[in-house]
Amino acid sequence: MSTESLAIDLDIDGMTCASCANRIERKLNKIDGVTASVNYATERAHVQVPDGVGTDELIDVVRAAGYDAAPVDDPRAVSPPVDDHGQRPDAELDALRQRLIVSAVLSIPVIALAMIPALQFTYWQWLSLTLAAPVVVWGAYPFHRAAWINLRHGATTMDTLVSIGTLAAFGWSLYALFLGTAGTPGLTHGFDFLPQRADGSSHIYLEAAAGVTTFLLAGRYFEKRSKRRAGDALRALMDLGAKEVSVRRDGRESRIPIGQLAVGDEFVVRPGEKIATDGMVIDGASAVDASMVTGESVPAEVTVGDDVVGATVNTSGRLVVRATAVGADTALAQMAAMVTAAQEGKADAQRLADRISAVFVPVVIAISVATLGFWMGVAAQAGMSGGDVTFAFTAAVAVLIIACPCALGLATPTALMVGTGRGAQLGILLKGPEVLESTRRVDVIVLDKTGTVTTGDMTVSEIISADGHDETEVLIAAAAVESASEHPIAAAIVTAAQDVPVPAVENFTSTQGVGVSGRVNGREIVVTAPDRAPGALDADLAEVVDRAQRRGGTVVVVSADGKPLGAIVVEDRVKASSAAAIVEFRRLGLTPMLLTGDNEGAARHAAQQVGIDDVTAGVSPEGKLGVIKELQSQGHSVAMVGDGINDAAALAQADLGLAMGTGTDVAIAASDLTVVSGDLRVVGDAIRLARRTLGTIKGNLFWAFGYNVAAIPLAAAGLLNPMIAGAAMALSSVFVVGNSLRLRRFAPNR
């Protein structure tokens, strides 16, 4: 039986609180073989399904639970239009705003009449009823509708609490007005922050019913708008791509939608235009501004043969580019997918919040009923009066209204949305929320040298031939084999040989930490480190190799059929930002360590320039893995930064793996965090941002738990007016989202 699974993403409509998300998630997970995660903040479900389970079945399950769902739009589709302020139209948000405005206009006079006795004219209570009725019926309709739908499916949510609370307050007021003495002309009563023991039949709660509805509508409106702002960074990232492209086909140039561009197409990029998709320059030279993708502010020079990334901007010359990736395969789409995956994940703390939210509403209803029963019992023992009934009713309604599972549900996902979105803007890609905790614990940061601390742009500085051979022969043999490798040393050798004919290689083999080999013109060519060369070096060659290594050069020996042909010296330079990055690591409480497969001389030379004291050189990939394990066995929590295939095992073993985006796909796949640019300082920014995001999540959860733990007992004790409870409940969600939005102001330390 096939065990392969397929990932399906669904947009969920109709969720009003975290309890809704938990309910949908439970329903989806009841399907055999399905693993679902529903995110209230993003209003999206990520579902892993086995063979035989399709999108339609998932949508039917969601609809059966009382909600609606639709497949997430194809990321390659053209984005919908935006308004004059750069925002996409949102019919639901507009309708909610209209409902809020009307309810506020009607509620303000009701609240004013109830709070200020001087305004209470002869029949003021009947005017209050006239104004409050549309608010409770029409304004609160979304709450009533959601509560009814959930009731039909045997579920309770925050809407259930709100609907019961507002209808109870409104129903009590109708009873007091029509059957009690509250409708008596000239009746007056003041507003109290604490419930009072007044004559129940003369007391109305229209201001509570209307005020709570308006406050909750305001809370939901600002919560929804804030959630939209929290996702702006991801939407902006996905909108970076060009919408049209000038393609050359059959000798003619024409403009086509980006969705029609195919791999292999040649397209023209004029100065000021965005590069339509990932590709290779086949004509022209220019400077490309990649700041919106990598965070690098300085444009990079590109010419024929250089790779370019879609959504970057051509600043000067005209370029002709051959497309190498389109749609979901582009670097931009993969960045967006990584950010989306991180936002859809759940931190451990959120799983606890989800479990609490799942039973929250039934427990609150039980507490409300118990509150009513308790105070009625107290009143019965003391001699029941109308004022005691009013007090008991007020306390019970306040319990219903003050409780807020939404703050719990929003605590983690909103912070993740904003944090990962801000990271994407800065060229920092986070794989999942579980990474956040790792950034807090790490105390040692292990750095690869080539491409991480140094530029990785190696150049051949010297070619030494053995007796009986010449430099050109050495270079051609090495370039033929290295042409199949993606190591920085290989790139330097191939570049040095671009003006000489290089034969094809057969039976190419790359051995991590050792070197490369292959058959070239019938000879077995091996390119490897000096200490792993298959044959002994003659005295002159060994002396040159030793001298080059002492001055910081990296040496590879080229052998043919087991005998050395010569050696090639390549040199790298330290990145201008590396020294500042090391200072930042120490400020963050991290001890830097250089771990490289390069020789001792080159490693010490680079470490001295950037201020690293602890250096381990000449290690294989297995050796790097062993060093990481040894550090962990000593009680350290280790972060590893690398960019090559030989770093993949160490990146995977480390408590926190960070890959430089300039590196290989293997290294990026093995890491927890990816830094899109090659600037080592961004690693420090990534750790700071992850720690800040984790701190925000913990702060949100502390507030959400603390609010409910403190507020519900206060309401049950009769110490909160229902309208004040409604305002506090609405503000609790807005506070959590607003606290998360502060992450948008995170600034890089460079």
As a whole number of angstroms, the distance between CA 694 and CA 214 comes to 33
Beginning with the edge strand found earlier in the chain, give each strand of the sheet holding 266-269 in spatial order: 252-257, 244-249, 266-269, 319-323, 279-283, 307-308
Residue written as token pair 């936002």: 343
| Six-digit token string for 119 | 């305004």
CA triple 513-578-548, angle to 5 deg = 50
71 forms bridges with which residues in the sheet? 10
Assess contact for 124 and 113: CB atoms under 8 A.
Answer: yes
The per-residue b/e assignment along 26-65, b for 16 or more CB within 10 angstroms, e otherwise, is ebbeebeebebbbbbbbbbbbbebbeebebeebbebbeeb
Determine which helix (DSSP H) or strand (DSSP E) holds 405, and give its type and residue range.
Answer: helix 405-425
As a whole number of angstroms, the distance between CA 681 and CA 581 comes to 4
Q: Helices (H) and strands (E) in the chain — how many of each?
A: 24, 26
Alpha-helix runs per DSSP H in 426-559: 434-441, 471-482, 488-496, 539-550
47 forms bridges with which residues in the sheet? 8, 36
Side-chain-facing half-sphere of 462: CA atoms under 13 Å: 19
As a whole number of angstroms, the distance between CA 59 and CA 40 comes to 17
Phi, psi of 165 (to 5 degrees): -65, -50
As a whole number of angstroms, the distance between CA 668 and CA 674 comes to 6
| Contacts (Cβ under 8 Å, ≥6 apart) of 452 | 641, 642, 643, 660, 680
As a whole number of angstroms, the distance between CA 659 and CA 665 comes to 9
Phi, psi of 650 (to 5 degrees): -65, -40
As a whole number of angstroms, the distance between CA 243 and CA 80 comes to 11
> Which amino acid, 667?
A
As a whole number of angstroms, the distance between CA 342 and CA 420 comes to 7
Assess contact for 525 and 559: CB atoms under 8 A.
Answer: yes
As a whole number of angstroms, the distance between CA 649 and CA 409 comes to 36
704 forms bridges with which residues in the sheet? none
DSSP string, 167-182: HHHHHHHHHHHHTSST
> Which amino acid, 125?
Q
Q: Is the C-alpha dihedral spanning 312, 227, 360, 134 positive or negative?
A: negative
Look up 448 and say whether it is catalytic: yes
As a whole number of angstroms, the distance between CA 335 and CA 72 comes to 17
The alpha carbon of 527 is separated from its chain's Cα centroid by a whole number of angstroms, namely 42
The residue from 448, 598, 655, 679 that is catalytic is 448
| Contacts (Cβ under 8 Å, ≥6 apart) of 637 | 438, 441, 442, 443, 444, 655, 656
> Which amino acid, 631?
L
Name the CA dihedral angle for 515, 520, 523, 527, rounded to a multiple of 10 degrees.
-20
| Six-digit token string for 305 | 């043969």
Residue written as token pair 């490693």: 603
Query: Tell me, what DSSP letter sits at residue 745?
Result: G
Could you list the active site residues? Answer: 448
